[in-house]
A and B are shown apart, each in its own frame.
Chain A
């Protein structure tokens, strides 16, 4: 009997795991991967999704099974079994979630570090001409770490972002360009230094898996390296007023040559290049 139960339990668990892995691979649960940050995010998502599916299907299954198996049938009277507790069992289901949570926490720490979350912000932005190294800068996640993209010689793109009700303005200090669209060359690390003119906004590109609030009176920084050409939406994710839903822009990821072309055409300082 015990053996049979064990076999059932193990095979059902395996089925759930296989089903979860299949689902996360085959259902379109996430948008296109367009930054070096995104594949790392998707890896974390996959792990969380499979763990989540196991727990959810497991507990739901137990609840439904109990309701059917232990339902009161017509003509039955009396009570259930008087079990009040079971110490080993309770220790077991305290320890297992604790271990799972510890694993998830350590794993997501690792992911966070690989995304560049732990790098010092003053270092990551210290070569940005407009940031005084003493200035307090908050926020910031995302890869500028060159080794991960393997193209270490590529120069970094610095853009100053201004958010206001209800638009984003992108200022390229090197070329004195002010643009309503963000243009970035594929493969180059990009640093955005963002500040809001009025209320709190948030800069979000779903395809980059990155978001950072843009705060008045407090510059924030976000780093990323685009990896796939295309036009992706920039979405304001923090309620900022009546037209919040319409506060969108576009990030154009293009080949470095196309980017150079765009940069030259728009630059007010001819001759300035990357």
Chain B
């Protein structure tokens, strides 16, 4: 791996880069191109994952297994989970927005390691394609995205091995990205810019990247051992050969619980950028926001066994993880109260970006509440591995992260393309998504409490009606994608010109052209020490506006 030159001196290498649309399918070193590559690639995988979710919801329209073959159903749910986590949410909230925004926010011309950055992105499409094509060749993995042994050892090996290899590639990509973000945020800051002046998304990405770098290698090691068990018939996790299946679960969740924070902490950061701009108010409680991110990072590393309350977990361990998990509610709660306080007294433009952000707050609060409930061992013992958990984590990753991704697209699209998105279509998109999402997942809490386990193709007929309601919600979510897609494509061609800073935002990415040039600013990088300095020209009835902002 070569160490790249400092970004400011990269004129020569950039001149060799393709220009125009070709940049987006090339090994570009420009962080903005790479960010958009992540975004578009992630969105395409999101559509595939969405089709798989549709197949699951069609199967669950009736209580018998009638739409997909049973083993295909398990492949579909495995692919759905893996794609949505590793190919959509993680790469988009980290890779896409991180690459696009972090260099702007620290006042740099590119990421610390541009080549590593391009390598990290280009590991994703092959890994994703390999994962999906495994379905058409020998059948995909069918042991769920958790791949618990011994099931993952006894199901057909080809699909499972492909799954392991692609998750290893995606994990590797994520680690490269994490190292790059840490180096960029800590080492490429513009002279004069202090850490406590950085936009909140930088802190979120710093925290997330620490989690990525600490925990992803554990997943990698675990999956390599699992692949030895499958291919070489070793016995690390195979009880028939003296292995221990519980050890796998500890190692897996040591990564996969922090993975939840890898999906939501960047989303927290993005919301913290979006709300102040459209509320015309400073982000409330900057300092406590920073500390709460770091609090979540530390606590997030010591809560993994709450996924294992019903497996082999001794009582003391159950109690420790109950308490540690519950306390994550405190720093998380601080962030939510701070966002509500940011809304309070603002001058809020009710646009698509703010609606999706507020939808995120509402959904995530519900997901957080059910999360605290699930952390309580006696509560979890009943609902673990049921649709209650399915509802809970979709409120976190869809109601949370995906709502924020949409909010961010509405917010930054003018910067990405120089064009505005259509607001009417955006609001239709929001309404359909919000209603569809809640219709799909809210009833699933009841299903879980009343006896429907997760990952089943057949269920007790008493749950038919509620499952059908849930599927109608899923259909609305699918339909909601259409106005969004149309908006994105149509606005790109015919959208209203955005100008450099349509939101009158103060963060540095808006202080350049839309789209920004290679190396971000024509001249020197601006020094933004107050990224949330709104409210300077506050006006009300008694106090007329100073300028027409």
Instruction: Spell out A's residues near B (CB within 8 Å).
Output: 29-31, 40-41, 44-45, 48, 51-52, 55-56, 59-60, 62-63, 66-67, 70-72, 76-86, 89-90, 93-94, 97-98, 101, 104-105, 108-109, 111-112, 115, 117-118, 138-139, 141, 198-200, 202, 204, 206, 209-213, 215-218, 220, 233, 235-246
Give B333-361 as 1s and 0s: 1 = Cβ < 8 Å from A's Cβ atoms: 11011101101111111100010001001
Residues of B within 8 A of A80 (CB): 279-281, 345-348, 534-535, 538
Cβ-defined partner of A112 (8 Å) among B361, B377, B446, B539: B377
Residues of A within 8 A of B285 (CB): 84-86, 90
Instruction: Spell out B's residues near A (CB within 8 Å).
Output: 65, 70-71, 73-74, 142-144, 148, 150-151, 154-155, 239-240, 242-246, 279-288, 310-315, 318-319, 322-323, 326-327, 329-330, 333-334, 336-338, 340-341, 343-350, 354, 358, 361-362, 365-366, 369-370, 372-373, 376-379, 381-382, 384-386, 446, 449-451, 453-460, 532-539, 545-549
Closest 7 interchain pairs by CB? A82-B535, A217-B239, A245-B456, A78-B539, A206-B451, A242-B70, A80-B346
Q: Contact at B449–A94, with CB atoms within 8 Å?
A: no
Residue of B with least CB distance to A204: B453
Cα–Cα distance between A200 and B346 once the two chains are bound (Å):
53
Q: Contact at A79–B539, with CB atoms within 8 Å?
A: yes
Q: A81-B535, A111-B378, A239-B143 are in contact. Are A200 and B245 (CB under 8 A)?
A: yes
Give the shortest distance, in Å, between B443 (CB) and chain A (any CB).
12
Q: Contact at A139–B456, with CB atoms within 8 Å?
A: no
Cα–Cα distance between A89 and B344 once the two chains are bound (Å):
13
Residues of B within 8 A of A59 (CB): 336, 340, 361-362, 365
Give the shortest distance, in Å, between A99 (CB) and chain B (any CB).
10
Cβ-defined partner of A209 (8 Å) among B327, B361, B381, B454: B381
Residues of A within 8 A of B449 (CB): 29-31, 206
Residues of B within 8 A of A66 (CB): 340, 343-344, 346, 348
Residues of B within 8 A of A84 (CB): 282-286, 532
Cα–Cα distance between A87 and B341 once the two chains are bound (Å):
12
- Residue of A62, A79, A233, A235 with most partner-chain B CB within 10 A: A79
Q: A70-B348, A97-B333, A245-B459 are in contact. Are A79 and B538 (CB under 8 A)?
A: yes
Q: Contact at A108–B377, with CB atoms within 8 Å?
A: yes
Residues of A within 8 A of B341 (CB): 83, 86, 89
> Please, could you name 6 A-B residue pairs with CB atoms under 8 Å apart, sorted by A?
A63-B361, A78-B546, A80-B345, A85-B284, A117-B318, A242-B73
Cα–Cα distance between A209 and B380 once the two chains are bound (Å):
9
Residues of B within 8 A of A67 (CB): 343, 348, 350, 354, 358
Q: Contact at B337–A93, with CB atoms within 8 Å?
A: yes
Give the shortest distance, in Å, between B276 (CB) and chain A (any CB).
9
Give the shortest distance, in Å, between B449 (CB) and chain A (any CB).
6
Residues of B within 8 A of A62 (CB): 340, 343-344
Residues of B within 8 A of A82 (CB): 281-282, 533-536, 538
Q: Contact at B312–A213, with CB atoms within 8 Å?
A: yes
Cα–Cα distance between A202 and B533 once the two chains are bound (Å):
55
Residue of B with least CB distance to A243: B70
Q: Contact at B535–A79, with CB atoms within 8 Å?
A: yes
Cβ-defined partner of B330 (8 Å) among A97, A139, A215: A97
Cα–Cα distance between A225 and B246 once the two chains are bound (Å):
28
Cβ-defined partner of A105 (8 Å) among B326, B348, B546: B326
Q: Contact at A79–B534, with CB atoms within 8 Å?
A: yes
Q: Contact at B453–A31, with CB atoms within 8 Å?
A: no
Cα–Cα distance between A109 and B378 once the two chains are bound (Å):
8
Give the shortest distance, in Å, between A87 (CB) and chain B (any CB).
9
Give the shortest distance, in Å, between A69 (CB) and chain B (any CB).
9
Give the shortest distance, in Å, between A158 (CB) and chain B (any CB).
20
Residues of A within 8 A of B315 (CB): 117-118
Q: A79-B280, A104-B326, A218-B245 are in contact. Are A237 and B343 (CB under 8 A)?
A: no
Give the shortest distance, in Å, between A9 (CB) and chain B (any CB).
14
Q: Contact at B536–A48, with CB atoms within 8 Å?
A: no
Residue of A with least CB distance to B354: A67
Cα–Cα distance between A239 and B450 once the two chains are bound (Å):
18
Q: A79-B537, A82-B538, A215-B311 are in contact. Are A242 and B343 (CB under 8 A)?
A: no
Residues of A within 8 A of B311 (CB): 138-139, 200, 213, 215
Cα–Cα distance between A97 and B285 once the two chains are bound (Å):
17
Q: Contact at A52–B373, with CB atoms within 8 Å?
A: yes
Residues of B within 8 A of A237 (CB): 310, 384-386, 453-454
Q: Contact at A85–B286, with CB atoms within 8 Å?
A: yes
Q: Contact at A98–B330, with CB atoms within 8 Å?
A: yes
Cα–Cα distance between A243 and B456 once the two chains are bound (Å):
8
Cα–Cα distance between A93 and B334 once the two chains are bound (Å):
6
Give the shortest distance, in Å, between A198 (CB) and chain B (any CB).
7
Q: Contact at B312–A138, with CB atoms within 8 Å?
A: yes
Residue of B with least CB distance to A207: B451
Q: Contact at A198–B535, with CB atoms within 8 Å?
A: no
Q: Contact at A141–B373, with CB atoms within 8 Å?
A: no
Q: A78-B280, A78-B546, A83-B282 are in contact. Are A72 and B347 (CB under 8 A)?
A: yes
Cβ-defined partner of A213 (8 Å) among B310, B338, B373: B310
With A97-B334, A216-B150, A245-B453 given, can you name 6 additional A-B contacts, CB distance below 8 Å?
A79-B534, A79-B537, A83-B341, A209-B381, A220-B312, A242-B74
Q: Contact at A60–B340, with CB atoms within 8 Å?
A: no
Give the shortest distance, in Å, between A113 (CB) and chain B (any CB).
9
Residues of A within 8 A of B455 (CB): 239, 244-245
Residues of B within 8 A of A115 (CB): 378, 381
Cα–Cα distance between A89 and B330 once the two chains are bound (Å):
14
Residues of A within 8 A of B154 (CB): 198-199, 241
Cα–Cα distance between A117 and B393 once the two chains are bound (Å):
26
Residues of B within 8 A of A216 (CB): 150, 239-240, 245
Residue of B with least CB distance to A208: B382
Residues of B within 8 A of A141 (CB): 377-378, 381
Q: Contact at B340–A105, with CB atoms within 8 Å?
A: no
Residue of B with least CB distance to A66: B343
